Homo-oligomer: A and B are copies of this chain.
Amino acid sequence: MKQLQDEITQALTKLDGGSEFHEDSWERPEGGGGRSRVLRDGAIFEQAGVNFSEVWGSHLPPSILAQRPEAEGHGFYATGTSLVLHPRNPYVPTVHLNYRYFEAGPVWWFGGGADLTPYYPFAEDAAHFHQTLKLACDEHHPEYYPVFKRWCDEYFYLKHRDETRGVGGLFFDYQDGQGVLYRGPNPKGEAANYSNQVGEPASRDWEDLFSFIQGSGKAFLPAYVPIVERRHGMEYGDRQRNFQLYRRGRYVEFNLVYDRGTIFGLQTNGRTESILMSLPPLVRWEYGYQPEPNSPEAELYDTFLKPQDWSNWTANQ
């Protein structure tokens, strides 16, 4: 996980070319700590935050024990890397990645994923992101991508707006190599339906899953960097910038209202500055905003903020 943080921050520093990451190391009094790295006012990134943390303790918080009673009476260890990149140019999408590992006595699991949040509708960007992640998944199991893609659409959803956060990607949790792939809260959703049709895949061991996590982590740069490279030079004006700042409000709404990691971190005395590093540096809200019909902004709402089969998109469809 630490290595993933290193690889990604090195590559992003090179890509940005205008600023560098500053690191804060922190310790957790109850055990463990982390490294928060932030790049600000770069040539490409208005803000890029990449966190690594590794924490342990003698007993789990009650909220986790309620979900996983088998972990009662054991110490725990949890580690993860997460990032959120907020580019300045509205034609470059925001992106999020998180991979994490948890163990407590006999219980262990992996979780994580990556998802893309464009401001302007470029279908080839969404398709490239999904196809790259799908390839990385398919090397480990043919049903990972179709289940985790649907789980991502379900998770990154703003109910009060009836919008997905963006074009999605992958999301999964509680992966221990046993049982069905979908372990989320909605037994009647698309992800659960698909996962139930797949049934229980052959069991996979710790090394299999670790290798899958490594593979998806490594797929992040090839999934995202080419999109930055083809968009960051595009000219934009106040209209695009204002729309980007407005849409960033949805990122804030999602992270503060729905995101389990954010809410859990804030409620359990996590390091607030590291947790809220995901929030954009500048954000607008506007009462009653509606995109102009037939505009690129309307196309974003109509097509990119609803689940789509991006990995099968082709240029001449």
- A276 close to chain B: CB less than 8 A: yes
Instruction: Compute how far the CA of A279 lies from the CA of B283 in the bound complex, rounded to whole angstroms.
Output: 11
- Supposing A160-B266, A266-B159 touch, asked if A288 and B24 sit within 8 A by C-beta, the answer is yes
Chain B proximity mask over A7-49: 1 for CB below 8 Å, otherwise 0: 0000000000000000010000000000010101000000101
Chain B proximity mask over A142-183: 1 for CB below 8 Å, otherwise 0: 000000000000000001110000000000000000000000
Chain B positions within 8 Å of A38 at CB level? 287-288
Chain B positions within 8 Å of A236 at CB level? none
Chain B positions within 8 Å of A272 at CB level? 160-161
Chain B binder among A65-73, A87-95, A199-207, A251-259: A251-259
Instruction: Compute how far the CA of A266 lies from the CA of B275 in the bound complex, rounded to whole angstroms.
Output: 23
> Which residue of chain B has its CB nearest to the CB of A272?
B160
What's the least CB distance linking A132 to chain B, in Å? 29
Contact between A273 and B287, CB atoms less than 8 A apart: yes
- Supposing A256-B257, A257-B256, A266-B160 touch, asked if A279 and B285 sit within 8 A by C-beta, the answer is yes
Chain B positions within 8 Å of A249 at CB level? 279
Contact between B283 and A282, CB atoms less than 8 A apart: yes
* Interface of chain A: mostly helix, strand, loop or mixed: mixed
Contact between B266 and A256, CB atoms less than 8 A apart: no
Chain B positions within 8 Å of A284 at CB level? 281-283
- A97 close to chain B: CB less than 8 A: no
Instruction: Compute how far the CA of A286 lies from the CA of B277 in the bound complex, rounded to whole angstroms.
Output: 8
- A263 close to chain B: CB less than 8 A: yes
> Which residue of chain B has its CB nearest to the CB of A162?
B272
- A217 close to chain B: CB less than 8 A: no
Chain B positions within 8 Å of A282 at CB level? 245, 282-284
> Which residue of chain B has its CB nearest to the CB of A274?
B287
Chain B positions within 8 Å of A49 at CB level? 287
What's the least CB distance linking A256 to chain B, in Å? 4
What's the least CB distance linking A63 to chain B, in Å? 15
> Which residue of chain B has its CB nearest to the CB of A248?
B283
Q: What 10 A-B pairs come out closest when comparing CB atoms?
A: A256-B256, A160-B266, A279-B285, A283-B283, A160-B272, A38-B287, A256-B257, A273-B288, A277-B287, A282-B284
What are 17 pairs between A and B in contact, CB < 8 Å? A24-B288, A36-B287, A159-B267, A160-B267, A249-B279, A252-B256, A253-B256, A256-B256, A257-B263, A276-B285, A276-B287, A281-B284, A281-B286, A282-B282, A282-B283, A282-B284, A283-B283
Which chain A residues have a beta carbon within 8 Å of chain B's beta carbons?
24, 36, 38, 40, 47, 49, 159-161, 245, 249, 252-253, 256-257, 263, 266-267, 269-270, 272-273, 275-277, 279-288
List 14 additional A-B contacts (Cβ < 8 Å) besides A38-B288, A159-B267, A160-B275.
A36-B287, A160-B269, A160-B272, A252-B283, A256-B256, A257-B257, A257-B266, A273-B287, A276-B287, A279-B285, A281-B284, A281-B286, A282-B284, A283-B283
